[in-house]
Amino acid sequence: MGRDPEPTIFELSQPGRSAWQLPTTGIPDRPLDDLIPPIHRRMDRVRLAEVSERDLVGHFTRLSHRQFSVDLGAYPLGSCTMKYNPKAFDLVAGIPGLADVHPAAPARCTQGWLELMVEIEEALCEITGMAAGTLQPSAGAAGELTGLSLMRAWHTAEGAPRRKVIIPDSSHGTNPASVTLGGYEAVTVPTDERGCVDLEMLRKVLDEQVAGMMLTNPNTLGLFEEQIVELAEAVHGVGGLMYYDGANMNAILGVTRPGDMGFDIVHLNLHKTFATPHGGGGPGSGPVLVADRLVPFLPGPRPVRLATDGSQAVASEAPDFGWMIPERSIGRVHSWHGNSMVLARALAYILVNGSDGLRRIAELAVLNANWLRVRLDGILDIPFDRPCMHEYVMSADSLQHETGVKALDIAKRLLEEGFHAPTIYFPLIVHEALMIEPTETESMQTLEALAAAIERIVADSRAPGGQERCAEAPYCTPVRRVDEARAARHLIATFDARSS
């Protein structure tokens, strides 16, 4: 059975109760009309809950304990890189010299922030093999639209605007959405028998209307694109640009770089690759890095190091960092300077790990994924059964035909085993897909426990009554199974938690 439902904050409300009190000052009361003219006041009272501080804190703490998070257990959500976030970097984001600075403060008063932003841009350029970048985009999808806008600006400046962008059939869902939002037509190329882009099919759709190709490497099947150099040469051969979706950068840190593969535009998800908290809508950060020829088009203003000619009497009197708007800038893509606290966390993560530590992250992420792949061999189908990178895709297709138990049922049962579910039904080219990304932060003991849990669920599904048990799981969560189709169609939905 599920837990007893938590009352709403309004059900806890008692008239006259409050979570605060003001000291007695001896200052006489004044009529509200003397302070705020009636024309500027609402006439009806705002309905607010009246609760004590103790009840307020208890309510939200109990709600927080009903959520699954990376601090509670393994979160093998493929393609999302939900890894543990070291708490030391939260301290960095709370430093008053960073947290208390207004974004509109002049450059001479924000030299520390400007230095931080310049340093992380330089570090990200070194990691990706790019020349320069913008820190403004607030997450991956914002980075994609920014990258596509840069692509459009470059082609327009070349006097040859184009209308098509190529994406693989296994791409992230944001890729076709961003292509459409960016005013392009999405052209899909299929996956070959090894789980990579079909190079010959790509060549068939290339023409002078192709603005570029969006691709992540490793791809969303968790496999490295073995012909990435040939893919890039083919796209460049018709004058297109290569766009790197950085969602899977966790797998190649310090090992190889998108710039070395032939990419011209790269967006990174700092909240995935560099361990800053994310989920539930944010906070994210999606910097975009570019090759030399695209630097003049970057959004502005950009934080930069200021050149000095050595002629100043006292060098410290001149600021070392300032703002610059690129020559042919596409303009702002975010208010102020992006999600800056995420930048601070990510730079701390990069500096603490160093180049050797970042490479070790990639190596362990790949090792963990391959260990799980081999451990679960024969338990579920593995459509592309070869060494993977940081994640891999299994399928419950055979199990569904045998027992009726689906990928969704396995995912719900895993909640009862103390694990968040992997990504399911993605990529779309794999039927009944379960996409697992253990990340580098999980131990061998945790990986074995996850594998054993999946093994038990599959075995139980074949036992008498197993299909029914799986179909109705989970039993131990506050809300068991919501009507997802209804939620998608009706964004404002109500339900009775007690009957769920």
Is 110 found in the same domain as 49?
no
Residue 83 lies in a domain: no
Q: What pLDDT shows up at residue 435?
A: 97
Is 369 found in the same domain as 344?
no
Residue 127 lies in a domain: yes
Residue 279, CB-side half-sphere exposure with 13 Å CA sphere: 17
Residues ≥6 apart with Cβ < 8 Å to 14: 50, 51
Residue 80 lies in a domain: no
Q: What pLDDT shows up at residue 74?
A: 92
Is 216 found in the same domain as 128?
yes
Last residue of a domain, one of 329, 350, 371: 350
Is 326 found in the same domain as 200?
yes
The two structure tokens encoding residue 190: 């299929």
SS3 402: helix
Is 186 found in the same domain as 127?
yes
Domain extent for 119 = 89-308+316-350
Block means of pLDDT (10 residues each) for the chain, 500 residues, are 73 91 83 88 88 94 85 90 89 91 94 96 98 95 97 97 96 92 96 96 98 97 97 98 96 97 97 82 87 97 79 55 96 91 95 96 98 97 95 97 96 93 94 97 96 97 92 86 81 51
Name the domain count of the chain. Answer: 3
Is 321 found in the same domain as 178?
yes
Residue 339 lies in a domain: yes
Is 163 found in the same domain as 118?
yes
Is 365 found in the same domain as 341?
no
Is 380 found in the same domain as 459?
yes
Is 227 found in the same domain as 98?
yes
- Element containing residue 484 per DSSP (H, E): helix 484-489
Answer whether 77's CB lies under 8 Å from 422's CB.
yes
Q: What pLDDT shows up at residue 95?
A: 93
* CATH assignment of the domain containing 370: 3.90.1150.10
Give the end-to-end CA distance of the chain in Å, rounded to a whole number: 10
Question: How far lies 159's CA from each of 155, 186, 252, in Å?
Answer: 6, 22, 36
Residue 84 lies in a domain: no
Q: What pLDDT shows up at residue 314?
A: 41
Tokens 């770089």 belong to 257
Residue 77 lies in a domain: no
* CATH assignment of the domain containing 182: 3.40.640.10
This prediction's pTM = 0.89
Is 168 found in the same domain as 135?
yes
Tokens 């990174």 belong to 268
Residues ≥6 apart with Cβ < 8 Å to 106: none
